[in-house]
Amino acid sequence: MQKLNVAILGATGAVGQRFIQLLDNHPWFAIAELVGKSSAGKRYGDVVNWILDDNPPTDILDIVVKPLDSELESLVVFSALPKEAAVDREPQLAAAGHIVCTNASAHRMADDVPLLLPEVNPEHIALIDVQRKNRGWATGALIANSNCTTMPIVMALAPLRQFNITKMLMVSEQAISGAGYPGVASLDIMDNIVPYVSGDENKMETETLKMLGTLQGDRIDYYESVTSATATRVPVIDGHLINLSIELAEKPSMEAILQAWESYDTLPEIAVLPSAPQRPVQYLPQINRPQPRRDRMAGKGMMTSIGRLRECPILGYKFAAMAHNTIRGAAGCSILNAEFLAVRGYLGTFRPQVAVSITS
Amino acid sequence: MQKLNVAILGATGAVGQRFIQLLDNHPWFAIAELVGKSSAGKRYGDVVNWILDDNPPTDILDIVVKPLDSELESLVVFSALPKEAAVDREPQLAAAGHIVCTNASAHRMADDVPLLLPEVNPEHIALIDVQRKNRGWATGALIANSNCTTMPIVMALAPLRQFNITKMLMVSEQAISGAGYPGVASLDIMDNIVPYVSGDENKMETETLKMLGTLQGDRIDYYESVTSATATRVPVIDGHLINLSIELAEKPSMEAILQAWESYDTLPEIAVLPSAPQRPVQYLPQINRPQPRRDRMAGKGMMTSIGRLRECPILGYKFAAMAHNTIRGAAGCSILNAEFLAVRGYLGTFRPQVAVSITS
Amino acid sequence: MQKLNVAILGATGAVGQRFIQLLDNHPWFAIAELVGKSSAGKRYGDVVNWILDDNPPTDILDIVVKPLDSELESLVVFSALPKEAAVDREPQLAAAGHIVCTNASAHRMADDVPLLLPEVNPEHIALIDVQRKNRGWATGALIANSNCTTMPIVMALAPLRQFNITKMLMVSEQAISGAGYPGVASLDIMDNIVPYVSGDENKMETETLKMLGTLQGDRIDYYESVTSATATRVPVIDGHLINLSIELAEKPSMEAILQAWESYDTLPEIAVLPSAPQRPVQYLPQINRPQPRRDRMAGKGMMTSIGRLRECPILGYKFAAMAHNTIRGAAGCSILNAEFLAVRGYLGTFRPQVAVSITS
Amino acid sequence: MQKLNVAILGATGAVGQRFIQLLDNHPWFAIAELVGKSSAGKRYGDVVNWILDDNPPTDILDIVVKPLDSELESLVVFSALPKEAAVDREPQLAAAGHIVCTNASAHRMADDVPLLLPEVNPEHIALIDVQRKNRGWATGALIANSNCTTMPIVMALAPLRQFNITKMLMVSEQAISGAGYPGVASLDIMDNIVPYVSGDENKMETETLKMLGTLQGDRIDYYESVTSATATRVPVIDGHLINLSIELAEKPSMEAILQAWESYDTLPEIAVLPSAPQRPVQYLPQINRPQPRRDRMAGKGMMTSIGRLRECPILGYKFAAMAHNTIRGAAGCSILNAEFLAVRGYLGTFRPQVAVSITS
């Protein structure tokens, strides 16, 4: 199988680096273009300050970074741009025919942009057809993934939609990598908690409802629930943990909830995607789990871990959810979204092998 | 003024050491006796593994540690015993005529034991007379202070009792020193969160209601409210932060709440106690405060810092509260309690000077 | 190929867990027996407090832990025993015919025990024959690996033996996992350095010379050099970094030293062992490397990273070396040693496939 | 006594904040002017992002920050400028008659600038007269303090000059606050060591020799010794620890060295300065001290702690030294220098009371 060339916008930043790391040796996609602002015109190996483990893959070091406004050759464009840069550039690229899978927040809440989490809302992919019609795009598309703290919340709540979630109170303890690089100054976070993360509370309260919503014709019916979020930063490198208290109108038993998580399965075509975890969520029975350091790499960083389900005297149910914020909560999710688009035939003539094998 | 001799039970442990540090150069109390189990019979300077900053005060190094079952000469006994050891020994000492100010949880919820926070429930001190009658104690008494996580919750909520707090949802992010020494293994908490602290959720849910309660005759009428607590441990050395969402039946404005905190004053006789902070609570207007490392030493570790008051779409009001868990939340609170007992005449013939000066 | 059954002594401890993790899906060895002291008689899954990432492999959870003095069926025994327990038990097992690959320090400096690092001193394996003769062991053997801080020192210095290393001054910055579990209390190490690690300075000064020594007849001629070590503990989870200043009698150029590291190759039969890294050492050209968090997993935790080679005005040469202390510096090294024993025919009739393929 | 007005250059940065904190309630000096670049023209309370504990002193919040090129009214100017800004501005201010006590590195190694550590080289103060003659300055002066890592090295070695220190090998483990704010990104240092600190190795090797040197006529005779430094960064907030191996030509006994530290006293006029610690150095007998977190606040952050004296097989003697890098190693040292200038009559007509009391 010929791999499909992809481009990465914002390739030298923290999320850009994670894209490169996760796409190294990817069975379907090959990194062909790197795009940046201050690094444009230079060899990637000369400008990148690699902050992830180990060193960058050697085969991309010689790629010369293209300016942000370059025409790109790759059909698929992964965007790790900051919001301000994403606002204009991402729709331009989609208009020019590219499939833009973005981690930026700029367009997440636009009515015709899917906020895609394949295991949760695969049908939202149909918004691509809506946006093409709305915006006159022929073959391009803009697909977003959620905020990194919203992500494990949605994954943990999706199996419980059947019980009618009427209230969601969420208190996050977020890792420093969620702020990018250089991001959080060590003098601000060592031996400390910062009880506020700019912008995240609003995203947790709104993105969640869009993602859990259902497609009605050409729009998303938001999930109806009252949401209240508190976002805090703690001295953890990777892995966002969220403490949730929820109200379920159906008042299921604890066993029914555990059962909902344990039996939560995704579409067969999603389960076999290269970046998909074996199962989207796991419930950990130990009383002191999930823990970011010990559980963030479950499913190669793509699985959401849940624990501590118990009664909440106020809202009914309490538990904790945790996922790797820069893998599942960012770059990994964009890549999984692109894989899902591939098997659904949105990536032009590209037909990945795995899709063939499962339909046979 | 002649200082009053005091004894410290569990003197080599983490809280015992904090008692020693805070009582060094105390204007009223002088450390005369140190009591321990495994260290009994040995010179304190030879057995203590001092874990606080700096070194132990030099003038207590030569004290020989007494066994746990020793008769003690000091009227006031500060207890940093583990729960198991406290169950029997503390009432024995009270029966023998000692004023036992304890940080142990063993007797906190007993009907006739005051769970004393002088700025919040000074009238609970009257339970001393009840317990003397109940238990046939002539001059002894047993006074407890709360769990270190409960403490800032109660201090932040006390000024809001006037608005009728009908629901309290609390999510803590607790420091490692709350677990004593050696306590939390570094391999468990570095770059990690442990989303469970054994026993603390129950204490936060129950102690809070006792402490906010009112004295009715010879018993405490618990405050009526629904409580729900989640306790987590984070890599912070000192300072417990709690994220609260509360329901207030009176639906006050945000300004009214801020006003309640800012005007919250304690009895004049309490404000002048040697260990009392200038004001019991402070509201920090910065959006990212309180922070454990930056705010835990406010009021020499005795002040509670509050911040981030805002609307909670579910319960009405959200904010964060934080206090130093081993000073205000443990040893410092016991000492303040003893100071309050002094000015109320419960420490035999001991009459501290400050009490005189303020009544004149 | 039929896998060879192995036993693990001290299976519930930190190093014991690392043995289990690294042996999971090992191509040659299969965990058959787990041995412990306090956990004896119980199901491993019921007694282990798993402190590594994720969860223990599911297929060993049902193994019932055997007492320390059990007769064992497995030919190969990996020992993660504490020194005191190892002193007697390890030679007993070797006498009973077992091949004991130990991480304990008890017998490291015994004249007839190889302190084996396959890339560095493969010929030391001949001490097995010496010990069998000395001790009257027929088929058993006792093979040790070094202290976890000594390991990267030896690996970095071995390629420089040709230049005659006359002085070695070493200052370590060691990770907390080197102290086992619960090991270092978080209250001792967060926001702190402990400038002393009990026993390690002596081990760094003596084990290094034995390991770099040469086999002369039936004994090791220690490498002749003056050694001086300082051992400190820092708030890092895994990865020991050592700052070295050395004197080289041959006064090679910096290029010659870099060349020595870059060309340092191991025997072909070692390079293909399942746990062997592609190359034993790598030199990192960045001025601020090696770093524990970013470089410890190089070569799946089995590679030693070196950096910052420069002139030392006092001793001539300075550089830093770093390796993963519980993988390459402990369990991983024991496993590599056993693999090396296999291809050399010391594991009874067991003949691994890889050895065949490389000799053909 | 009328306090002397002082100005602070670089008042919003990390060291500038420390100046403000240490000068709050200073018995001799009063903060009158704050100077900055990007914050010029604004109220200090509106622009400062206070990163130290607690909040800035309330009485300086309303001061309007002056531009860097302002004429200043205060005789004494404390400079926390970055090197680039200090190069030109500091001599300009001295030329204009100000006494500039600087923490910047720009002029430290100039022949006629004293690198002053009052307990160590008080006679270097005479360079002020030299620089006035050289540069035609009437009443102004430029006095520097050393790099924050050099400082504890010099303080620990000064008492040993009598033994003729012929070699000094130093390996530092430095706190993050040494890099200012935002300084070290948390993603670079959590669970990590960075084995390189830009510029510091050279400063440790050269500043040390100037500071330990002796005044000969109008110049400093550098101390003669071979120096070799390694500088590393570790996850510690405040407090630089240095591991030293030294050669002493006189080969004193260990007791003689301990005695040298214990008897090391400063001039009586220095010992009584407001910021002077009771004794400049303390030797800690515990085998695992000094530790940054536990010992950095000794002497209110102005004392240097030493420990672990023992034999070095290579150079003769080994030990560790530690001091608070932003108090004694930066702002606190500048303030102590200014106090020393005051009692020596360099601050115009200002005559502090303490100087009077000790000469009487």
pLDDT tens, C83-120?
999 999 999 999 999 999 999 999 999 999 999 999 99
- D41-96 confidence digits (pLDDT tens): 999 999 999 999 989 999 999 999 999 999 999 999 999 999 999 999 999 999 99
Answer for the pair B336, B118: CB distance below 8 angstroms, yes or no.
yes
In a 3-state reduction of DSSP, which class is residue A110?
Answer: coil
Res C161: pLDDT: 98
Nearest Cα residue to A102 out of A83, A125, A121: A83
Tens of pLDDT, residue by residue over B90-149, are 999 999 999 999 999 999 999 999 999 999 999 999 999 999 999 999 999 999 999 999
Contact D294 B52 (CB under 8 A): yes
Residue C144 DSSP SS3? strand
User: In this predicted complex, what is the ipTM?
Assistant: 0.96
Write the CA distances from D300 to B53, B341, D154, D296, D323, integer angstroms: 12, 33, 19, 8, 11
Contact B236 A192 (CB under 8 A): yes
| C-chain residues near A294 (CB < 8 A) | 52-54
Q: Distance between CA atoms of A105 and A142, rounded to whole angstroms?
A: 12
Is D184 in the A-facing interface, judged by CB distances under 8 Å?
yes
CATH topology for the C150-325 domain: Dihydrodipicolinate Reductase; domain 2 (3.30.360)
Test mutation, B47, B48, B55, B291, chain D, max D CBs within 10 A: B55
CB contact under 8 A, C196 and D287: yes
pLDDT tier at B356 (50, 70, 90 boundaries)? very low
Determine whether the interchain pair C54/A295 forms a contact, defined as Cβ–Cβ distance below 8 Å: yes
Residue owning tokens 């669970």: D191
Give B253→chain A minimum CA distance, Å: 19
Q: What would the pLDDT profile of D105-123 be if each residue is shown by its tens digit? A: 999 999 999 999 999 999 9
CB contact under 8 A, D226 and C314: yes
pLDDT above 80 for D356:
no
CA B197 to the chain's CA centroid: 18
- Per-residue pLDDT at D75: 98
Instruction: Tell me what pLDDT residue B313 has.
Output: 98
Nearest CA to B223 out of B236, B235, B233, B210 is that of: B210
Best to test chain A binding among B192, B283, B305 (most A CBs inside 10 Å): B192
Q: Give me the CATH topology for the region A150-324.
A: Dihydrodipicolinate Reductase; domain 2 (3.30.360)
Helix, strand, or coil (residue D324):
coil
> Mind listing the pLDDT tens digit for each residue in A92-109?
999 999 999 999 999 999
Q: Which residues on chain C are in Cβ contact (under 8 Å) with B190?
A: 176, 186, 190, 235, 237
What is the spatial distance between Cα C252 and Cα C35, in angstroms, rounded to a whole number?
Answer: 49
DSSP state of C79: E
Alpha-carbon distance D286 to nearest alpha carbon in chain C (angstroms): 10
Residue given tokens 């010496």 in the structure block: C130
Query: How large is the angle between the packed helices A200-211 and A150-157, nearest 10 degrees?
Result: 30
Are residues B235 and A234, on separate chains, in Cβ contact within 8 Å? yes
Hey, which bits of chain C come out as E strands?
Answer: 4-9, 29-36, 66-67, 76-79, 99-102, 141-144, 165-174, 214-216, 219-221, 226-233, 240-248, 281-284, 304-312, 316-323
Contacts of A293 in chain C (CB under 8 A): 53, 237
Lookup: tokens for D80 = 């926390």
More confident position, A356 or B292: B292
**Residue A92: phi, psi to the nearest 5?**
-60, -45
- Of residues C52, C191, C294, nearest to A54 (C-beta): C294
Specify the range with the lowest mean pLDDT, choosing from A129-133, A348-352, D290-294: A348-352
Residues in a beta bridge with D282: D305
Q: Is any Cβ of chain A less than 8 angstroms from the Cβ of D177?
A: yes
Q: Which of D14, D187, D191 sits opposite A51 (nearest CB)?
A: D187
The CATH topology of domain D4-147+330-359 is Rossmann fold (3.40.50)
Residue among D305, D299, D296 nearest D324 (CA): D296
Determine the Cα–Cα distance for residues D108 and D126; give it in Å rounded to an integer: 15
Q: What is the pLDDT of residue C358?
A: 47
Tell me the pLDDT tens digit for each residue of B220-264. 999 999 999 999 999 999 999 999 999 999 999 999 999 999 999
Q: Which amino acid is at C313?
A: P
| Helix/strand/coil (H/E/C) assignment for every residue in C304-340 | EEEEEEEEECCCEEEEEEEECCCHHHHHHHHHHHHHH
List all residues 6 or more positions away from D40 whose beta carbon is below 8 Å from its beta carbon: D65, D66, D67, D68
- Chain segment B185-197, per-residue pLDDT in tens: 999 999 999 999 9
Write down the CATH number for the domain with range A4-146+330-359.
Answer: 3.40.50.720
- Which residues in chain A touch residue B285, judged by CB atoms under 8 angstroms apart? none
* Yes or no, beta carbons of C186 and B191 under 8 Å apart: no
Report how many Cβ contacts below 8 Å link chain B to chain C.
Answer: 58
C255 close contact with A: CB closer than 8 A? no
Confidence of residue B357 (pLDDT cuts 50, 70, 90): very low
| C-alpha neighbours within 13 Å on the C-beta side of residue C178 | 31
Answer whether residue C359 shows pLDDT above 70. no
Which residue from A191, A291, A294 is facing B237, i.e. has the nearest CB? A191
Q: Considering only CB atoms, which chain D residues are within 8 Å of C232?
A: 173, 241, 243
Active-site annotation holder among A98, A107, A124, A148: A148
Q: Which residues of C touch B178 (CB under 8 A)?
A: none
Contacts of B52 in chain D (CB under 8 A): 294
pLDDT digits (tens, 9 = 90+) for A155-169: 999 999 999 999 999
Tell me the per-residue pLDDT of A274-317, one tens digit each, with 9 for 90 and over. Answer: 999 999 999 999 999 999 999 999 999 999 999 999 999 999 99
How much is the pLDDT for B157? 98
Q: Which positions of C are catalytic?
A: 148, 240
pLDDT at residue C29, as a whole number: 98
Task: Give the pLDDT band of residue D286 (cuts 50, 70, 90).
Answer: very high
Please check whether residue C316 touches D, CB under 8 A: no
Q: What is the mean pLDDT of chain B?
A: 96
Query: Is the CB of residue D172 less than 8 Å from the CB of residue D199?
Result: no
Answer yes or no: are the C-beta atoms of B193 and A291 closer than 8 Å. yes
Kindly state whether C250 is in contact with chain B, defined as any CB-CB distance less than 8 angstroms: no
Mean pLDDT of A253-278: 95
- Report which of C89, B287, D41, B323 is spatially closest to residue A197, judged by C-alpha positions: B287
C183 neighbourhood in chain B, CB within 8 Å: 185-187
Q: Which helix (H) or strand (E) holds B9?
A: strand B4-9
Q: What is the pLDDT of residue D299?
A: 97
Please identify among residues 24-53 of chain A the ones whose CB lies closer than 8 Å to any CB of chain C. Answer: 52-53
**Measured between CB atoms, does D286 come within 8 Å of chain A?**
no
For chains A and C, CB pairs below 8 A equal 25
Q: Do B267 and B122 meet the contact criterion of CB atoms below 8 Å apart? A: yes
Report chain A's mean pLDDT, rounded to a whole number: 96
Which band of pLDDT confidence, cut at 50, 70 and 90, is reported for residue D266? confident
Residues of B in contact with C177 (CB under 8 A): 187
Domain boundaries, chain C: 4-146+330-359, 150-325
Neighbouring residues of A30: CB distance < 8 A, sequence distance ≥ 6: A3, A4, A5, A6, A23
Question: Do A54 and C191 lie within an 8 Å CB cutoff?
Answer: no
Q: What is the pLDDT of residue B358?
A: 47
* Strand, helix or coil for residue C151: helix
Report yes or no: C169 at the D interface, CB cutoff 8 Å.
yes
Nearest to C193 among D190, D234, D315 (CB): D234
Over chain C, what is the mean pLDDT? 96
Residue A359 pLDDT: 42
| Predicted confidence (pLDDT) per residue in B311-322, tens digit | 999 999 999 999
Nearest in space to A110 (alpha carbons), one of A158, A143, A155, A133: A143
- Chain A residue with CA closest to C293: the answer is A53
Bridge partners (DSSP) listed for residue C245: C169, C318
The minimal CB distance from C176 to the residues B51, B182, B186 is found for B186
> CA nearest A191 in D: which residue?
D237
| C282/chain D closest Cα distance in angstroms | 16
Closest CA to C110 of C91, C136, C84: C91
**Contact (CB, 8 A) for A23 and A3:** no
Is B186's CB within 8 Å of C190's CB?
yes
Say how far apart CA C263 and CA B281 lie, in whole Å: 66
CA distance B236 to chain C (A): 8
